[in-house]
Structure 1
Amino acid sequence: MTRTIQSGLRAGAAVLCLALGGLPDAALATEGYFALGFGPVQRAQGGAGVAHAFDAMSATVNPAAVAGLGTELSMGVEVFAPRRGYEGTATGFVPSGNVQSGRDLFLIPNFALNHRLDGGAVLNFAAYGNGGMNTSYPAGLAGCGSVYCGGPAGVDLSQLFLSATYARQDGNLSWGIAPTLAVQRFEARGLGAFAGISTNPAALTDRGHDTSYGFGLRAGLQYKLSDQLTFGLSGQTKIGMSKFKTYAGLFENGGDFDIPATVTAGLAWKATQDLTVMLDYQKIWYSDVGAIGNANSAGPLGAKGGAGFGWDDVNVVHLGAEWRSSPEMIWRAGYAHASNPVGPEDVTLNIIAPGIVQDHFTFGGSRQLNDRDRLDFSVVYVPRNTVTGPEMTPLGPTGGSVKLKMNQVSVSIGWSRKF
């Protein structure tokens, strides 16, 4: 068994190196900027699963979910293709017409190792991208030449979570706790037009990547109400992150950019021996993080209590189904609907952070290759959503309007081995 752990950790180290190298370019704008799910199984069932366990990656949606699983290694990669942009009408601060962000293709890896201990408990290690946002608007546009008239514009935010979960099952109750290390990277470009409302214009834009670190806690439980029905509950504390000092003139309180708290509750109903239906509700408290939730008009950029992106809290409903059509094949489908965090009054600044998509349609499955190995896959389609509002400059409205636009497609594939 020690050899199993060593092999799994070596594989995890390889995935972790890929994550650290690749996640800084990830653009995970699905539920605001949080990911729909972690791994192809969760994505295929619409992000649902707080009350249902399937693989080692289940610990990322609920630490209690892996309490009844055996020793297993899971890893995979998502090919993510978001299209984000805006349409300006009679605008002057930003170019008019249809403007599209570049860089529409991203690779996002995931890894988890589940190990059953001698006393019946489980230890799980996972590395996954929890959220992020990426936009890249070019120079050479009509009008002043670029978005906000400051050269190539955009942001690059990524979050990598590293968690160690301890879980166990006691009768009908399973519980788990997961101390979690979070790593963020951020870069902003082309925001010089906002220097006049920044407390520190020298630390506002075009400073390259900066990194911050924080530590938080995730915990959860599952309770088997009957042979057919299971209840699940999972939560993550707000994670206080070290400041982005390089961007102290952009983010509230001199560079604060914490990770908001979340909670998810749901049910899994085993309708038949081969069919399980899942329903989850999730809430993300973006408004509790000043850099994200404070209104654009709250005060100078970088000040304590100052301006943010104006995001509201997000509520998400996940619906998923899992059907075993044969001993070798499982099919999944799902749907998720998220409320939109960006209001019409905040569209201009959110050109660089258009996390506005709401509806997610998902499909996928798992193919058992042999007694030990399984192949998982998923496809996610997110139709275009738009939000229209007045164009706002640092000095006030111009009379023009901005329509944010975003849609997404992603394909995931994963491999799991039981030991």
Structure 2
Amino acid sequence: MKKLLVLVITGILPIIAISQSGHIMQGIGAFNMSMGGAATAQPLDINGALHWNPAAIAAFDSKVFSANAGLFFSSPELSSTVPTPSGPFSGVTKDDKGISIMPAIAMVWGKKDSRHTFGVHAFGVSGFGVTFPENNSNPINMPQNKGGFGRIESNYMLMQIGFTYAYELSEKFSIGLAPTFNYSALELAPNPLASPNREKGYPAADNAYALGFGGQVGVFYNSGIGIKLGASYKTQQWFKEFEFEDSYLDGTAAPGVNFKMNYPAILSAGIGYSKKEIDFALDYRYVDYKNTEGFEASGWTQTASVAGFGWKSMSIVSAGLQYKGINKFPLRVGYTYSSNPIDEKLAFFSTPATAIIKHGFQLGFGVEFNQQLTLNAVYHHGTSGGATKGMLLSPMMISESNQYGAINGSEVSYKMTTNLLMFGINYSFK
């Protein structure tokens, strides 16, 4: 059984801890999150406008500051099955990472009689982390000396800073642009990008950093009778390579490995409607993973490490509704739908893609202390809508008729739920 597990799992580790990267945060800040992230054509809050459509900040005619922080908890589960002479051997491992903090800070400078509006922001736009402990009951998490690879741990974050400018071409139409600068960090244990050593197994990587840049352009139209339209394009965020320094479990140094992982381009289009006590927002986004370095390739290298994740481009639909009928206490609900970028035959290459959330539900509110200060809050619950699953793959099983090395009778699957509690303040300098 040990030899069979070694054969099966030889191909698993190169992907196991990196697959959540590229996760698109559905909203920024408590207000925007409570609207399902929809803001491309409905700039009710500066965070959503700055992140999704730079032209939309033209809707603000004063200086506004916003700060938000959230407590994020996810509960991924990783399952695997391998065939044995005595029948299938299966197990499940649950994540025990705990709570993560999600920050957002932003400011917009606008004036009533000016066509120019400026903004700046620092947002955590992507991040993940898993901690799957060693588990003798799950083939994937068995110790390496028993054919598995033990504890799996990863941490990834992407912080984005942007400087935004919007210009009003007329009372109804504005354009905007925003250069963006990025900082990302990634830590992997074991390192899924390193080639295995026959005697020492797979090494672990230190915390590696990479800087990147990109930009965004947008247009915004306000009819003046309630209907609003908006569209924006955020370029791919181009990063330098992560330069990992690896070490084996026995503490000896391992050969380093470099890996480039960009952030995908995003095309957004939206419609908004406001009248009296109601604000409605609906957005559609196209996320171009297919043409993003680090995601577009698939398969194995000649040294049994991964060549790429083979993600498809994905679609996201966000909708939000705000009710202002209660004095100084607006209520908000939001929903977000995301398609799955992972093809079933390539599901193994994204094990475990715990950042795939199909349905997101949000409930939020605001407390308007006065015309200047508002407290916003939101609760989010997300679900993957079932498990993403596929066959286990091994480079040792590759043949002309078996391109990825699929192992008959095997399976790997992963699913998760997410919960978030976030608070934020908006202060208008009047």
TM-score range normalised by the length of the shorter chain: 0.7 to 0.9
Percent identical pairs in the alignment equals 21
Cα distance, 1:347 vs. partner? Answer: 2.9
Letter in 2 for 1:418: S
Cα distance, 1:32 vs. partner? Answer: 6.0
Letter in 2 for 1:390: M
Indicate conservation of the 8 Å contact 1:44/1:362, yes or no: yes
Match of 1:164 in 2: 163
1:333-355: CA deviation from partner (whole Å, max 9, x where unpaired): 11111101122223334224333
- 1:221 aligned to which of 209, 219, 222: 219
Match of 2:231 in 1: 233
Cα distance, 1:356 vs. partner? Answer: 2.2
Cα distance, 1:319 vs. partner? Answer: 1.3
Unaligned runs of 5+ in 2: 1-17, 247-256, 397-404
Give the aligned CA root-mean-square deviation in angstroms. Answer: 3.0
Structure 2 distance, partners of 1:283, 1:315, is 5
Match of 1:100 in 2: 94
- 1:45 aligned to which of 35, 60, 77: 35
Cα distance, 1:55 vs. partner? Answer: 2.4
Aligned counterparts, 1:164-243, within 5 A: 164-169=163-168, 170-191=170-191, 195-196=195-196, 205-243=203-241
Match of 1:397 in 2: 406
Instruction: Give TM-score scaled by structure 2 length.
Output: 0.81
Match of 1:414 in 2: 424
3-state SS of paired residue (1:176): strand
Q: Mean alpha-carbon deviation: is it higher for 111-120 or for 405-414?
A: 111-120
- 1:125 aligned to which of 103, 120, 124: 120
Larger fraction in helix: 1
Match of 2:51 in 1: 60
3-state SS of paired residue (1:287): helix
Unaligned runs of 5+ in 1: 1-26
3-state SS of paired residue (1:319): strand
Letter in 2 for 1:75: A
Cα distance, 1:162 vs. partner? Answer: 0.5
Aligned counterparts, 1:218-367, within 5 A: 218-246=216-244, 254-270=258-274, 272-297=275-300, 299-300=301-302, 307-367=307-367
Cα distance, 1:150 vs. partner? Answer: 3.0
Structure 2 distance, partners of 1:172, 1:193, is 50
Indicate conservation of the 8 Å contact 2:19/2:352, yes or no: no
Indicate conservation of the 8 Å contact 1:301/1:307, yes or no: no
Letter in 2 for 1:237: T
Structure 2 distance, partners of 1:268, 1:179, is 25
Q: Mean alpha-carbon deviation: is it higher for 284-293 or for 344-353?
A: 344-353
Match of 2:149 in 1: 150
Instruction: Give TM-score scaled by structure 1 length.
Output: 0.83
Indicate conservation of the 8 Å contact 1:133/1:353, yes or no: no
Match of 1:19 in 2: none
Structure 1 distance, partners of 2:163, 2:303, is 36
Rg comparison, structure with higher value: 2
